Every structure is written in C-alpha cells, then in structure tokens.
Structure 1
C-alpha cells in the first residue's frame, strides 16, 4: 500500500477520535481544541495525499474511491456533531450532505459511461470554506469576532455548496442523458 493510500486510511481512523473528543463533553474547551487539532490534521492529510499521489504517479483505484469517501465521512461527521452541539442548523447540514450525494450520483453515472467528472474550482472553494467553517465552529471561541466569523463561514459554505451543485449539473447535464 502506497503512502497516499495510507494517509487516506489514517484520515478515516482519525474520525472516531475526533467525534469522541468533540462530543464527550462539548463544554470542555480542551476537548474541543483536541478535536479541532484532529480535524485539522485529518484535513491536511487530504491535501497531502493528493499532492503525493499526483507528483509521484501513485494514483490508484483504491485512492480514487477512498479519498473522496474519507473526505465526505470527515466533513459529514463534523457537521453532524455540530448539530449535536447546537452550533449548526440541521437544514444546512442536510443541504450540504445532499449536494454530496447528488454529485456522487452524477460521478457514478458518468463513470458507468466512461466519463470522468473532475472537481471544479467551485467544488474546491466549497471544500475550503466548509473546512474553515468547521474549524472555527469547533474552536468555539467566545469572542464577537469569532462568532460573526463562524456565522459568515456557515453561509458562505452554504452558498458555495449550492453554486458548486448548480455548476456541476449545468456542466454535466449530458451525463444524465441515456447512452446507447
């Protein structure tokens, strides 16, 4: 197993530890900082595994499948935990996770037709803002600046989620047409 795939597996292994530290005692700021550190490390492995895989031609079918799945698991787990802590509205999480299912469906259909749908810039911006939102919300710093920043990041991430979904649908609508 190559290094990028090991980093992807490591990211998945970090998820339960992240969840435990965030939910064990949400009022314990030390636990929240540990959860934040775990989330940041896991997020950095996402960036690192892709760079290593492309640079050293270590792209594998396992990585193509598992890397995006690990990302979705990490971000979804974080947002669901933030519902439990009362920091994120369930409807926002439903919109964001629904977008991921829709795009995954598009990619599956495209793959069956021999088409690869690459990540768009909108999708990359969406991911960056979702991760920043999660980091700020987990830190839960009780200062007006961070409260406002968290709120702004929530709505920017939500808007980018919707924009990236529309972008994918518009650019790839032909994928849904029946192939002969």
Structure 2
C-alpha cells in the first residue's frame, strides 16, 4: 500500500478515536484529531498526484474517508447540541445524491470527477467543524460568530455543489438502459 493510501486509511482509523474523544467532551483534543485527519486529505492527494501514485483504492476511499470524517463530526455535534440537525440532513442528502449519481454514471462507464465546488464544500465543512470544536476560538473574544458563519457557508456550498453536480451530469439520468 502506498503512502497516500496509508494516509487515507489513517484518516478512517482516526474517525472512531475522534468520536470517542469528542463524545467524552474533550472538544480541543477532538479538534486536534479532526484537523490532523483533515490535513491528511490534502496531503494524500498532493502526494498521489505528484508521484503518480493514484490508485483505484484511493479514488474510492479518499472521498469516502472525507465524508466519514465530516459527517461523523456533524452528527456528534448534533447530539451535543452544537449544530442544528436540519443542516446535517442537507449535507447527508447532498452526499447520498452525488454518490448515487456517481454510481449510476459508473454503471454507464462515465466517471464523474470531483469538481472545484465539491472541494470548496469539503474545505468549508472542515473549517466550520474545527471552529465549532474550538468553540469559535479565537473569534469569541471579538464577538464575531465565525463558526456559525462558516457553518452557513458550508451548507450553502453543499447545496450549490450538489446542484452543480446534477446539472453538469444530467445526461446520466436521460441515458437509456
């Protein structure tokens, strides 16, 4: 297994550790785990592309690991009362829709690559979760709810990127079996 794939697996292994740490109320420790896991997302992709280490495993598992990390964090934050459930439902709906679209496309021999809006969506979600875990630090001292603002931006980007994937790939729905 190459280094990018090991980083992806490491991110997936970090998820249950993150969940336990967060659910026991150690927000700052959970934030450290979350940030480190999020950074592996950027790192594994850069290494894979730079050294031509792109694999089918990585193509499938890397986005899955991202979704697992972010959605696990958001669901835990709903349980802890830090994030409204409807926002997580929007995120889940988008992820199921895009994954379904990709599955149908793949069955027709079409590959739907990650678009820039999807990448921005992931980054905004990771920033929002981090700020929520840090209780809006360091912005709490300024009285600016940056964590809430980033959460809203991430939900807007989630909706936008989901619509963009559907519109740009509408031909997948019109193809005959």
Q: Deviations over 1:100-148 (max 9, x none)?
A: 1100111111111111111112111111111110000011147264661
Unmatched runs of 5 consecutive residues or more in structure 1: 26-30
Structure 1's consecutive aligned runs of 4 or more residues displaced over 6 angstroms after TM superposition are none
Contact 1:8 1:70 in 2 (8 A): yes
Following superposition of structure 1 onto structure 2, how do residues 6-155 of structure 1 map, counting pairs within 5 Å? 6-25=6-25, 31-141=26-136, 143=140, 145=142, 148-155=145-152
User: What is the TM-score with the length of structure 1 in the denominator?
Assistant: 0.92
1:28 is matched with none
Kindly tell me the number of residue pairs found equivalent between the two proteins: 175
User: What is the TM-score with the length of structure 2 in the denominator?
Assistant: 0.94
* Alpha-carbon distance in 1 for matches of 2:141, 2:159: 27
Unmatched runs of 5 consecutive residues or more in structure 2: none
Contact 1:12 1:73 in 2 (8 A): yes
Provide closer, same or farther for how the CA distance between residues 45 and 134 of structure 1 changes in structure 2, counting only shifts above 3 A.
same
* Alpha-carbon distance in 2 for matches of 1:64, 1:141: 33
Asked if 1:157 corresponds to 2:124, the answer is no
RMSD, matched Cα: 1.4
